[in-house]
Amino acid sequence: MATKTQSHVIEIEGKEIPISNPDKLLWPEAGVTKLAYLRYLIEVAPHLLRYTRNRLLTVIRYPHGIDDKHFFQKNLPDYAPDWIATAVWEKTRYPVLNDLPTLVWMANQAALEWHVSFHEIDDEIPTELVFDLDPSTPDFDDAIDAALKLKEVLDELNLPSWIKTSGASGLQVYVPIERKYRFEQTRQVGEFIATYLVKKNPRTLTIERLVKNRGTKLYIDYLQHWRGKTLAAAYSTRARPQATVSAPLRWEEVPTIHPTQFTVHTMPKRLQETGDLFTPLLSPARRVSLEPILSFLTTR
């Protein structure tokens, strides 16, 4: 992959991309400038792009860094270079984030978070079942406890699972599934599992959508898993003071981790040591059937 930096221009794969304000601090507390951010993305791109490929993409832009105003963006700006691929879904012209030049160009526009759909652009069949574990308190142990309880249930159902930090306050659990189910079906399964967990742990877990009604209980979000909705991609940065990223984990390390361990500064070295822990999600051989659960739900 040919890349070079010169005079605030980065040349990547034959594309010359001007870089504005390379010394601007995007994460002031973590000391991450725009140029350091771009270096991070270039280093992790072979992994990150696997999870953005052919997906609907929503970015969150922070033109003046994470301590200033931000906005969500789905459509590709009119001033974008014509070499950026696009796809129209429900009247929105999305950028297709399949290559490094597109990633770097969008990052130069201060896109600091990368959120992707649960399905590909041209196929509204979900590629995995996902649970987003969202704590109601700053205590990350709540997320750890909920994730381990969820894994117990998934193991009992013979559903293999992989886990990552959200990069913010929670954890996200993925189950690779056969690519033949509709979102209506995966929602049935998600609701069944989440409801079962809440019934077993009513004092600590909830499926209550309204934040004001959750108290200190951790929210098991199965509703986010739907057509057009998004979740932070693996290795996406997040607009948090420590410049944290969404980090795939081994289940055995979950009890002792904290999201602040995984940052723009530390993630490249971790990737060198562990490899991409989410790779199994991309393997057709890992996809499992939901038929036993769906059959149970239709006959009970």
Band of pLDDT at residue 293, cut at 50, 70 and 90: very high
- Please report the beta strands in the chain, taking only residues with DSSP state E, as ranges in sequence order: 3-6, 9-12, 15-18, 25-27, 32-33, 55-61, 71-73, 86-89, 92-95, 111-120, 128-134, 162-165, 171-176, 205-206, 218-221, 230-232, 248-249
pLDDT for residue 1: 46
| pLDDT per position as a tens digit, 182-241 | 999 999 999 999 999 999 999 999 999 999 999 999 999 999 999 999 999 999 999 999
Mean pLDDT of 7-22: 91
What's the rounded mean pLDDT across residues 71-79?
97
Q: How many CA atoms lie within 13 A of 161 on its CB side?
A: 26
Phi-psi region of 18 (alpha: psi -120 to 50; beta: other; left: phi over 0): beta
pTM, rounded to two decimals: 0.95
Residue 209 neighbours by CB under 8 Å, 6+ apart? 219, 223
Share the mean pLDDT of the chain: 96
β-pairing, 25-27 vs 86-89, is unpaired
Q: pLDDT by residue (tens digit) across 107-121? A: 999 999 999 999 999
Mean pLDDT over 40-68 rounds to 98
**Domains (range + CATH), the chain:** 3-122+230-264 (3.90.920.10), 128-226+281-299 (3.90.920.10)
- Whether 5 shows a pLDDT value over 50: the answer reads no
- pLDDT above 80 (res 33): yes
Q: Phi and psi for 17 in degrees, rounded to 5?
A: -120, 110
